[in-house]
Structures are given as structure tokens and as C-alpha cells.
Amino acid sequence: MSYVTVERRGGCAVITYANPPLGTMTAEGSREMYAAVKAASDDPAVRSIVLTGGLPGIFVRSYDVGELSTASDATAPGAAATPAPSAPPAPGFLELIDLLAAAEKPVVAAINGLCMGGGFEMSLACDLRIAGTAVTAIGLPETRVGIFPGGGGTQRLPRVVGEAKALEMILRGLVVNAAEALRIGLVHELAADPLARALEIAGEWDSRGADGIAYAKRLIRAALDRPLAQGLADERASFAAVMMTDSARAGLKAARPPAEIRNA
């Protein structure tokens, strides 16, 4: 069974995840998603990435509770020791989350249905989140089953909605509908067809310099984790570097006013 399909729409790679019937994320699904996102990230012809769900009413419901339960049992006192792997494990869910956040091109989550737990953590690692107007559940309910968000939720959610709201949502295991998600800043927009809207936005990047986008994303991602002076120094060095790229030269020349206007 394959969990992931990839489709090119102009300069955008649309990566769709489906695990019927529940739409949960699994270890194998994480590996397939990682491979798809890595291939799109490494392809210079891909200018943006859109993630969406392939089941009606489901983006990614959560990480598979059965797999988590099995992992928990394996750590219980008296459990048989797990043999050491003969080779490094394939990239999994946490590596997927890191890859999405670090990708040097814009990543948009087209949230077309239930988006909870690990599915929501995956969307938090994206740059933009577009939710369908009919989506009924977005959030991190892990504390309801005795755990907590372990895929970046405790770190990224406060950066998106602030510490107070993040504490309320995570400690109480709250989920919200699309309208409330927009009101509190969890998502950027609502759309009747979130994939169509995500593709519309992705089209903006098809004709823009990839180097400038990559530098801007890296600088913004790092802004909250270091002193302002260090960030400004990096921004100035990065600006000088991007000005030397072919994409910047082409974009600036295209935007330059005609000579008759410059000399008026």
C-alpha cells in the first residue's frame, strides 16, 4: 500500500497523504512523506510544496495510536530488549517535521479536513496554513490520552498563538473548528476549496526568484531564536549574497523602469 501521491501543478509539487479508512499518520507513512518532501525540496524545478489529505474530510487525523501504544509497551519494565538495528533507521515522523520547516521553498498546508495531533504538528511546520471552511477539528488532543504533543507542538504552537493560548489548548487537549482557528491565528485563511486556494498562492512563487524566497524563509524562521543584532547582521550578509544570484539580477532588471521614465 502506498500512502503518498505526488502531482506537479506548474512549479508546485502537491503531496497528498491518505491512509484509509482513518487517515492516521504511521511510521511507514512518515517515511513515504519524508521521501516525497525531500525529492520536491531537492528539485530545482519545484518552486513550492503543498500538502493535503486524500480522504474525504481528513487532512491527517493524528499519529496512529496503536503504533504509539506498541512503542510505549516496549519501554515498560520487564519488556524484552529491542535488538539494535543493523543499519540506521529510515527517516521518520520527526525527521519529516524538521524537513518541512527547513525546506528552502515555501510549504503550504491545504487543510481539507480533520487535522489533529501529529497531523496538526505537520501543518505547524509548514509556512502557510489554509483551512477549509467546513473543517470541524484542528488541534492537539494528546493530553486526553496521557501523553503530550511530541512532534514540535509544544514549541511551535506558542510561537503561533502565544503562550497563554497554547497552554490552554495543549493542557486541556482542545480542538477548534476552522472559524475559531482563523480567529486565534492557527491558520492564515479559510477557503471553500483549500487546495485550490493553496495552488493559487503557490502560483505567485512560480515567477519569483527562488534565492530570495529561500533566504527570507531561513531568516524569518531563525528570528525568534537569537538576539536582534545577530539577526540583522545575518540579514545584511544574506542580502548581499542574494544580490549576487542570477535570479535576483533577472528580477531586478525586469522590475527596472524604462530609461525614459528614469531620465524624466
pLDDT of residue 264: 54
Positive or negative CA dihedral for 187, 189, 192, 195? negative
Is 189 catalytic? The answer is: no
In order, the DSSP letters of 184-226 are TTSSSEEESSHHHHHHHHHHHHTTS-HHHHHHHHHHHHHGGGS
C-alpha–C-alpha distance, residues 80 and 86, integer Å: 18
Where along the chain do its domains lie? Answer: 4-205, 210-262
Q: pLDDT 10s digit of each residue in the chain, 264 long?
A: 799 999 999 999 999 999 999 999 999 999 999 999 999 999 999 999 999 999 999 999 888 888 877 765 655 566 554 444 444 555 789 999 999 999 999 999 999 999 999 999 999 999 999 999 999 999 999 999 888 898 999 999 999 999 999 999 999 999 999 999 999 999 999 999 999 999 999 999 998 889 999 999 999 988 888 888 888 888 888 888 888 888 888 877 777 776 555 555
- Whether 121 is catalytic is yes
**Catalytic hit among 95, 142, 189, 235:** 142
Instruction: Please give the Cα distance from 115 to 21 (Å, whole number).
Output: 15
Q: If we measure between CA atoms, which residue out of 15, 45, 20, 13 comes closest to residue 32? A: 15
CATH number of 4-205: 3.90.226.10
Q: 140 — alpha (psi -120 to 50), left (phi > 0) or beta? A: beta
Catalytic residue among 7, 28, 121, 168: 121
Residue 85: the pLDDT is 46
